[in-house]
Amino acid sequence: MRNIPPSVKKPSRYSGAEVRTPLLPWEEADTRVLLAFPDVYEIGMSHLGILLLYELVNARRKTLCERVFAPWRDMEEHLRATGSPLVSLESARPARDFDVLGFSLSYELTYTNVLAMLDLAGIPLLRTNRRESDPVILGGGVCTLNPAPVAEFFDALLVGDGEEAILEIVDRVEDRKRRSGNRDALLRDLSEIEGVYVPGVSAKVSRRVLPDLAMSPLIPSPILPAMRVVHDRLSIEISRGCTRGCRFCQAGYAYRPVRERDPLLLLRYLQEVAPKTGYDEVGLLSLSAADYGCIDRLITDAMETLSPEESPCPSLPFGWTRSGRTPCARSGRSGRPGSRSRRRQARRGSGGPSTRRWTTATSCARPSGFSPTGGRGSSSTSWWGSPGRRRTTCARSGNWSGRCPRSHAGTGGGTS
């Protein structure tokens, strides 16, 4: 796919020219996973789930994880006309050479793109037609709550949170390779993993739930995309699930129960990692971010830290000063002329410091130091929290330590 003809629009979708941490060489990896997003690059790179799994799998020993996105129609026509296969973004290896091809199913309209990608990769569409040499086709994401419509096309479907289950799946795949086991035996193995539904094998499946958001990493070196993506900012998941429990809302049910991330870990991440990523904005992700237990303290302290001179905007542009932007420590880039925060400044019509003051209350019982525990990541700095240690703090009390008085865990929210 690197041989991009001039007729293809937005070639940076396929170039792989991103700022990112180098990966394990292909030859040194025992297990190779390809994460596929069935939509174009700029949409897929705005999806936090695929980036989280990418980080987790690459942190596993002797494991390589790469990405592939759906080609736009012009590129698809080029691939079909030249007989070229669908290849990964990083190493440009054919998708069918990987051990696992995992699709993220975020919305049903991408189902046809999944089939197009399988077709371009030269992998049989129906699971019953697949050969021993074909990769395991895995599906995950919120759509798998109803796996039946796509069950004929996937070897296994992961229902629920993927952080733990993806590593268990890779363990089983690696075992199969070591023992030269067959495909049917592997699928039976996979069906024993909690949250994994194997069509034709599993009778039923229960949704996999990550018990504590501290077990999901904050990405230490996020990929800086090769082009402007839809959500062109550093995304940080502050909580999962929603306290509101609206009856009509799929997400409110799909992501139950409510789990909140340690605010001290978030603040430390914002202070130490965010300014080095090359992004000029950070987004605090949640189904309902305003319901995060200490959202006001988190935003206030983050603003004090990241933009002490100005920028009261809650979308948290950081590193911004009147003279320009702090250069990125990784890429050396100092900013793009058309960046969103710059445009926003211009729209406000001032370009200078805001007159609005953001203050920080100092009466909280903040612990003297941050102590995120080391996780299983290969990085020297681990951006994991401490499972079971909840410093979720209530906005009403203003206290950073102690348990949140709202008892979310296991309830799935539901105040309605």
Q: Which residues bind ligand SF4 (CB under 6 A)?
A: 242, 244-246, 249, 251-252, 287-288
Q: Is the dihedral of CA 14, 284, 303, 215 positive or negative?
A: negative
Rounded CA-CA distance 92/131 in Å is 23
CB of 279 to ligand SF4, least distance (A): 25
**Rounded to 10 degrees, what is the CA torsion of 335, 339, 340, 345?**
80
Q: Which of 347, 324, 243, 238 is nearest to 282 (CA)?
A: 238
* 235 vs 345 by CB, closer to ligand SF4: 235
CB of 291 to ligand SF4, least distance (A): 8
Give the nearest residue (CB) to ligand SF4: 252
Residue 399's SS3 state is coil
Rounded CA-CA distance 141/312 in Å is 35
* 291 vs 301 by CB, closer to ligand SF4: 291
CB of 234 to ligand SF4, least distance (A): 22
CB of 269 to ligand SF4, least distance (A): 24
* 288 vs 382 by CB, closer to ligand SF4: 288
In order, the DSSP letters of 155-195 are SEEE-B--HHHHHHHHHHHHHHHHHT--HHHHHHHHHTSTT
Rounded CA-CA distance 370/326 in Å is 25
* 292 vs 320 by CB, closer to ligand SF4: 292
CB of 249 to ligand SF4, least distance (A): 3
* 65 vs 143 by CB, closer to ligand SF4: 143
CB of 300 to ligand SF4, least distance (A): 23
Helices (H) then strands (E): counts for the chain: 11, 12
CB of 412 to ligand SF4, least distance (A): 10
* 371 vs 415 by CB, closer to ligand SF4: 415
* 229 vs 395 by CB, closer to ligand SF4: 395
Q: Are 410 and 257 contacting, i.e. CB atoms less than 8 angstroms apart? A: yes
